[in-house]
Amino acid sequence: MINKKIAIVTGTRAEYGLLKPIIQKIQDDKELQLCLIVTGTHLSKKYGFTFHEIELDGFSINYKVNMNLENNTPYGISCAMGQEIVELAEIFDKEKIDMVILLGDRYEIETAGIAALISSIPIAHLHGGELTEGLIDDAIRHSLTKMSMLHFTSTPEYRKRVIQMGENPKRVFYVGALGTENIRNSTLYSIDELCGKFGECFRKPYFMITYHPVTLEPGSAQKQFNNLLTSLSSFKDYTCIFTYANADSEGTIINQMTEKYVNNNDNAFAFVSMGKNGYLSALKHCKAVIGNSSSGLIEAPSFHIPTVNIGNRQTGRITGNTVLSCGNSSEDIVKTISTALSPEFNRLCRSSQNIYDKEGTSETIVKEIKKFLSQDISTAKKFYDIDFKLENQK
């Protein structure tokens, strides 16, 4: 019997929603002790103080690591990361952590990875091997892969890519996406329940819209998002439901534009946070997902609904048949939304399967972590070389 302490770091509402089944399984496991560390936008009033959702789910937060996210310029984000790493270093020095679980590719998670690496704590990384070529997140995700000892990927192709980066295949597991498991295991709201909790705006046909900054295209957020807002005027029969942009550079610009649009349009509404169940329920009943969020590519296909994926933010990520990608111009967006709403495309969506779906995702992750921790552990890693030939090699 092992007795190990597992730290999980969460910095955003979306990532917490994915991690929830892992947190629950570790909390319920008699051989594991949970150390839950909350940081990032969870602790920001501007982003809805979403740490309350974690507490309402019955989890005790062991540590709250504050970051100053009021200034989301590159300088402000770098300062916030510095503040976070100091506090995490103190926690890791105080607690005897046996493993840290990190999901994804955001800067607050990168900081947690650095602190764990310096503290010689093994890292288990979720959703490695993916590509988002329009974001700094791409480099962050790959660097977290190199810091980590265990890897849990959402598709076989991503598993192959992690191995290509020099990781031992015996420690790289294809498990599917936690988001799709959450959908299968959740009791989602009916339209009546959704309206009862969030308002009558969900009663008529509606779009779910989430647009985040494209961080490798600085200065582009205002123009690109304005093109999206302009395109919506071609679809006056649909209500527009916005969720807020994240705390990346230029995210505040998008949120301010959203608020102005909502104030000037009777058929537009915005939510800082709906909680996991609320958001997934809203996806279930919508007519199309529009924007550039990963949820449109990973979770939305489970509901057999169309996704209009705009611009370069998700370029490189594997997409299924329910996803239509387009450029940033209003003309491209209008044309693609029209295709998404067509009877032909909706028939295709209804018959499509989610390529990110795999049974037993969270159970497999916890099982492999326990197996790893039951062995003698060294944080030293060897680079795993694959056998290949470089093109044009002489």
Same domain for 158 and 289? Answer: no
Separation between Cα atoms, residue 226 and residue 247, nearest integer Å: 19
Separation between Cα atoms, residue 196 and residue 180, nearest integer Å: 25
Find the helix or strand (DSSP H, E) in which 94 lies.
helix 74-94
Separation between Cα atoms, residue 201 and residue 189, nearest integer Å: 15
**What pLDDT is recorded for position 389?**
66
**What pLDDT is recorded for position 13?**
87
Same domain for 283 and 369? Answer: no
Same domain for 113 and 165? Answer: yes
In a domain, 200, yes or no: yes
Cα 355 to Cα 175, 180, 289, 369, distances in angstroms = 12, 10, 17, 24
Q: Burial code of 148-183, b = ≥16 C-beta within 10 A, e = fewer?
A: bbbbbbbbeebbebbbebebeeebbbbbbbbbbbbb
**What pLDDT is recorded for position 394?**
47
Report how many domains make up the chain: 2
In a domain, 281, yes or no: yes
Same domain for 129 and 208? Answer: no
In a domain, 182, yes or no: no
DSSP E strand boundaries for the chain: 4-10, 32-39, 63-65, 99-103, 123-126, 150-153, 172-174, 206-210, 239-243, 268-271, 288-291, 307-310, 323-326
Same domain for 170 and 248? Answer: no
In a domain, 378, yes or no: no
The per-residue pLDDT string of the chain (394 residues; one tens digit each, 9 = 90 and over) reads 679 999 999 999 889 989 999 999 999 999 999 999 999 989 988 888 989 999 999 999 999 999 988 887 889 889 999 999 999 999 999 999 999 999 989 999 999 999 999 999 999 999 999 988 877 888 999 999 999 999 999 999 999 999 999 999 999 999 999 999 999 999 999 999 999 999 999 999 999 999 998 888 888 999 999 999 999 999 999 999 999 988 778 889 999 999 999 999 999 999 988 988 999 999 999 999 999 999 999 999 999 999 999 999 999 899 999 999 999 999 999 999 999 999 999 999 999 999 999 999 999 999 999 999 998 878 788 899 987 665 655 4
Same domain for 9 and 130? Answer: yes
In a domain, 389, yes or no: no
Separation between Cα atoms, residue 368 and residue 388, nearest integer Å: 29
- Helix, strand or coil, per DSSP, at residue 124: strand
In a domain, 143, yes or no: yes
Q: Which domain holds residue 109?
A: 4-176+358-373
Q: Residue 73: which CATH number?
A: 3.40.50.2000
Residue 333: CA atoms inside 13 Å, Cβ hemisphere, count? 24
In a domain, 387, yes or no: no
Same domain for 213 and 88? Answer: no
**What pLDDT is recorded for position 391?**
61
187: its two tokens: 């009791």
Same domain for 39 and 170? Answer: yes
348: its two tokens: 């295709």
Same domain for 219 and 102? Answer: no
Same domain for 250 and 215? Answer: yes
**What pLDDT is recorded for position 215?**
80
Farthest-apart Cα atoms in the chain, separation: 68
Same domain for 290 and 309? Answer: yes
In a domain, 366, yes or no: yes
Same domain for 218 and 276? Answer: yes
